[in-house]
Amino acid sequence: MKTLLLFLFPAFTFAQTMTFEIQGHRGSRGLMPENTIPAFKKAIDLGVQTLELDVVISKDKQVVVSHDPFFNPDCTTDPNGVFITKQTSGNLYLLDYQEIKKYDVGSRGNKNFPEQQKVSVYKPLLKEMIRESEKYAKSKGVPPVKYNIEIKSEEKEYDQSQPQVAEFSDLVYNIIIKQLPPERVILQSFDFNVLKYWQKQMEAGKYKKVALSVLIEPMDNNDIQFNLDKLGFKPPIWSPYYMQLNAARVKQLHDLGIKIIPWTVNKREEMEKVKALGCDGLITDYPDRAKGL
């Protein structure tokens, strides 16, 4: 028994001293307009290791940094200065990027995030976001950041507000691979078809290897083995809603060699609980609240 304990203790110590990864959700949504260049710069200023973002596709097949394939009615002003007040499903997929860029997604602020600064700003292209973030990090003398890129995809929306999985994935991959080393990229999605496609392309040597992360919705079946069977492979990262986690689930995933980075953890006390459970990091709207973790 003493021998077994001596064997286990060093591994436990090593795991506890690994870096706890802070990912800035949509850049720093709690502090700056989400998924915009100022939000990503703010996250870099606050010392995040990873910029988390979402991408959709425009009518002219540009990869746009946006959480939704429509303009968010909580924060969007149209080119005529009129507040958008209703969700218009699929409208980004029906607009060329030059039209999308005319919409202001920051001047109004966002009533759900009262600390968010009001800044006149547009939805950037993925290639612009990467270019500006890389340039900014270098100017600040900070280590290169990672990028956690979520493909916003739903099966019922194929050919409605988005392309089919293969086209969507190829468009995103071609931007990433021209600008970033694959070891600094995480690709995540709630759509298992997207993750399966990327895994298949990497196994075939058609895509360079990036880390895949499984996003789990709170209302979905969150049984780990069920989702692994559904996915068909073991991903490097598991990213559930943080309230789904407990010590047993964290242990189960770590026993499988899978890192756990839950979303979206915004209160300091919840951040501390997530870390105490043994998670490998967290995704937050407020990177400033994660200082010191």
Q: Dump pLDDT digits (tens) for 56-86.
A: 999 999 999 999 999 999 999 999 999 998 8
Residue the block writes with tokens 């996250």 = 43
What is the structure's pLDDT at 120? 98
- Domains present along the chain, CATH in parentheses: 19-290 (3.20.20.190)
User: For 188-213, what is each residue's pLDDT tens digit?
Assistant: 999 999 999 999 999 999 999 999 99
Q: What is the pTM of this model?
A: 0.93
C-alpha of 236 from chain center: 15
Look up residue 81 and give its DSSP letter.
Answer: S
Interval 229-261: pLDDT, tens: 999 999 999 999 999 999 999 999 999 999 999
What is the spatial distance between Cα 31 and Cα 42, in angstroms, rounded to a whole number? 8
DSSP 27-70: TTTTTS-TTSHHHHHHHHHTT-SEEEEEEEE-TT--EEE-SSSS
Whose structure tokens read 């709690």? Answer: 30
In the predicted model, is pLDDT for residue 11 greater than 90? Answer: no
**How far is the C-alpha of 86 from the C-alpha of 80, rounded, in Å?**
16
- Summarised one tens digit per residue, pLDDT across range 87-122 is 776 799 999 999 999 999 999 999 999 999 999 999
At residue 86, the pLDDT reads 85
- Is the pLDDT score of 6 beyond 80? no
Tell me, rounded to whole angstroms, the distance of Cα 59 from its chain centroid. Answer: 23
